[in-house]
Amino acid sequence: MTDQATAQLRSVPGTDTAAAPAAPTAPGTADDPRAALTALRAEIGKAVVGQDAAVTGLVVALLCGGHVLLEGVPGVAKTLMVRTLSKALSLETKRIQFTPDLMPGDVTGSLVYDARTAEFSFQPGPVFTNLLLADEINRTPPKTQAALLEAMEERQVTVDGEPRALPLPFLVAATQNPVEYEGTYPLPEAQLDRFLLKLILPLPDRDQEFQVLARHASGFDPRDLDAAGVRPVAGPEHLAAARAQVSKLTVAPEVLAYIVDLCRATRQSPSLSIGVSPRGATALLAASRAWAWLAGRDYVTPDDVKALALPTLRHRVALRAEAEMEGVTADSVIQAVLAQTPAPR
């Protein structure tokens, strides 16, 4: 069954809800940021079949300067999607394979003693990059997971009492298996809140799975993106220009009030022990602006807010134990809040 987040991310006002949200065909040259990011999405499609909603979510996060958590069973192209994004975006990328024995210093870096100089020198960890692929982040214990908290929020890490700035732009794209899988550690609420979006990647339908096999039968190698024809089509300059344009989008007071009402309604839900915080409200605003920009508008509508509500808010709420036992999910609670909260016209 199609995941609710996929349905939401595929639903742009005025478009076919069965199709992925298509950024408008942008006029102008390849230097136009919207044209570059539209090409970015198409380039990822050379290696990844389907998962259009997740690809769009990654682009939204790039536009907001936020981080993304990709959840799905093994084998649905989570890692391949991020690797292809980094290839098409011309950003420095590093990968951390999270394991139970990984230490915080393996992420942030540490002081290393140099016998030649009799001094300690800082050796940067893989977090010092533009796009960090945190693969299977919930395979490592909370102590190591927490090593990313400061990096994700402050864009810096502190080692031996000294803060060290990370390169900009900086984005964490973390993958995780569903928490019911053996050997996983659920991410703490404080870290979940640092992710702008949580995208759930569903299993492909029959036609998509046939396309995957047909590509492999014709020689596609997911480890060789060059052979797949993936090329850099955008860079940091396009991303900076796009973010500047997104920041100028108009948001009417009525839309701001709608976001506030949605978030406050989650705090009053009898099914939730923790509702959406003000940080979640600002994240929903940022994601909605990016979505509107991708749709070719210079203003945000209530439909933009609705489209991003599930992936932006689902990981920022906590279910009460009794509600969870009754089969209630975070998605169903947020959908109920959307249905019950009047939207401005």
Q: Model confidence over 224-259: pLDDT tens digits?
A: 888 888 888 888 888 899 999 999 999 999 999 999
User: Tokens standing for 98?
Assistant: 């999270």
Domain boundary among 197, 228, 246: 246
Gap between the Cα atoms of 161 and 163, Å rounded = 7
Q: Is 277 helix (H, G, I), strand (E, B) or coil?
A: coil
Residue 257 and residue 226 in one domain = no
Supply the mean pLDDT for the chain: 84
pLDDT for the residue 15? 30
Give the residue-averaged pLDDT of 169-190: 81
Looking up residue 270, the CATH number of its domain turns out to be: 1.10.8.80
Residue 297 and residue 198 in one domain = no
pLDDT for the residue 308? 94
Tens of pLDDT, residue by residue over 87-125, are: 888 888 899 999 888 998 899 988 888 778 878 888 888
Gap between the Cα atoms of 93 and 48, Å rounded = 18
Domain boundary among 193, 211, 246: 246
Residue 14 and residue 148 in one domain = yes
16-30, 163-177, 245-259, 270-284: which range is least confident on average? 16-30
Tens of pLDDT, residue by residue over 135-149, are: 888 888 888 888 888
Gap between the Cα atoms of 21 and 2, Å rounded = 16
Instruction: Say if CB 277 and CB 316 are below 8 A apart.
Output: yes
Residue 197 and residue 319 in one domain = no
Instruction: Give the pLDDT band (50/70/90) at residue 180.
Output: low
Which pTM was predicted? 0.83
- Higher confidence at residue 21 or residue 131? 131
pLDDT for the residue 31? 60
Residue 174 and residue 297 in one domain = no
Residue 230 and residue 252 in one domain = no
Residue 130 and residue 207 in one domain = yes
pLDDT for the residue 227? 83
pLDDT for the residue 37? 85
Domain boundary among 182, 212, 246: 246
Residue 261 and residue 124 in one domain = no
Residue 86 and residue 199 in one domain = yes
286 pLDDT exceeds 90? yes
Q: Per the structure, how many domains does the chain have? A: 2
Residue 326 and residue 241 in one domain = no
Looking up residue 173, the CATH number of its domain turns out to be: 3.40.50.300
Tens of pLDDT, residue by residue over 9-50, are: 444 333 333 333 333 333 334 468 888 888 888 888 888 888
Host domain of residue 345: 248-345
Gap between the Cα atoms of 27 and 44, Å rounded = 21
pLDDT for the residue 287? 96
Gap between the Cα atoms of 156 and 150, Å rounded = 6
Residue 93 and residue 14 in one domain = yes
Residue 154 and residue 295 in one domain = no
